[in-house]
Structure 1
Amino acid sequence: MFQIGENIIYPMQGAGTIKAVEEKEISGQKQLYYVIEMAISNMQITIPKDKILSSNIRPVTDIVELNHIIQVFQHEQSEEVLPWKQRYTLNTTKVKTGSMQDCAEVVRDLSRLKKEKALNTSEKEMLDHAQKFLRSELKLIKGITEDQLNIFS
């Protein structure tokens, strides 16, 4: 599915690059594994090739989809204000999907909330993580402008 050298997005981890496909023998069974080098954490992750689809790893978003996400980010209403525990659970679920759209919504909603009142420590960390996740992908999108790159900051 993915090729060596291809950039991917791994939910909760951000952008990475397929560095190799290796065959390993575990418990007497040979299996192919993707070796992925993660950009944010500078670590390597190894995933069985037959588990790659269930891991929600996906290709980098293209510029057309990014333009749609920017429109939603700038013009859609934020989620209704929920109690912070419910909001945190909802935002955690969104970030775990690995979807750039969901992650952008978390950044949008927490950034808007931050302008109204101070975020608690958990939500500050969530906002920081979601922004890092977005930036790691934005840097890889072909044709992105400097203005588009800075929208989610």
Structure 2
Amino acid sequence: MFELEQLVVYPSQGVGKVERIESQEIGGTVAEFYIVRILSNNVTLMVPVMNAINVGLRAVCDNDAGLKIFECLKDRSDFTGYTGQNWNRRYREYSEKLKSGDLQDVAYVLKELFLIGNDKELSFGERRLLEQAMGLVSMELSFAMNRDQDEIKEMINALFVDVLEKQEEDES
């Protein structure tokens, strides 16, 4: 059970805060809901308490888990390179990982798209997924590690500075 004022992560939306826990009657049955305000866009979500885990609501990771995410982003041993796989298939696969709410999966998408962008120009959809993954990872890590989100983004970008420099060369 989550507590009032607790920071939580809602899949594909990002970090939010539990503002209230309300009871509402729906179809003759009383149910409890977490009222969660997403911090990046001020959207308010009602998440049934009984279904919170099933929809992927979870606590923000801790500092140690954040450090492990940075280690995963640095590790390129699992990247096999751009395989020419249909971007549409990749897009669907990555979209599913972002919706999973699992920080490890979201970080995987972020790393893959950075590295694929080293081999070829990303499609518009892939660039959007990259931005979404960067936002989700950087926001959660900023709370987990008690740092500014922009600082976390800079730290992530520093891990891929070789990729970013190549992309800039290709564009000019």
- TM-score norm. by structure 1 comes to 0.90
Give, in whole Å, the separation in 1 of the partners of 2:134 and 2:105: 12
| Correspondence 1:22-61 to 2 at 5 A | 22-61=22-61
Equivalent position SS for 1:139 = helix
Alignment correspondent of 1:114? 117
Counterpart contact for 2:66–2:145, Cα < 8 Å = no
Aligned pair count reads 153
| C-alpha deviation, 1:78, in angstroms | 2.0
Q: Unmatched 5+ residue regions in structure 1?
A: none
Structure 2 residue identity aligned to 1:42: N
Pairs within 5 Å for 1:3-152: 3-76=3-76, 77-80=78-81, 81=83, 82-143=85-146, 149=152, 150-152=154-156
Q: Secondary structure at the match of 2:56?
A: coil
For the residues of structure 1 that align with 2:128 and 2:146, how far apart are their CA atoms? Answer: 30
Unaligned ranges ≥5, structure 2: 158-172
Is the Cα contact below 8 Å between 1:17 and 1:37 reproduced in 2?
yes
| 1:25/1:146 CA distance change after superposition, 3 Å | closer
Please give the per-residue CA displacement for 1:36-63, whole angstroms capped at 9, x wherever unaligned. Answer: 0001221100011111111111111111
Q: For CA contacts below 8 A with separation 6 or more, give which structure has more relative contact order.
A: 1
Residue identity matched to 2:117: K
3-state SS of paired residue (2:36): strand
Deviation by residue 1:55-84 (Cα, 9 ceiling, x = unmatched)? 111111111112222111111332553221
Identity %: 24
Higher alpha-carbon deviation: 85-94 or 74-83: 74-83
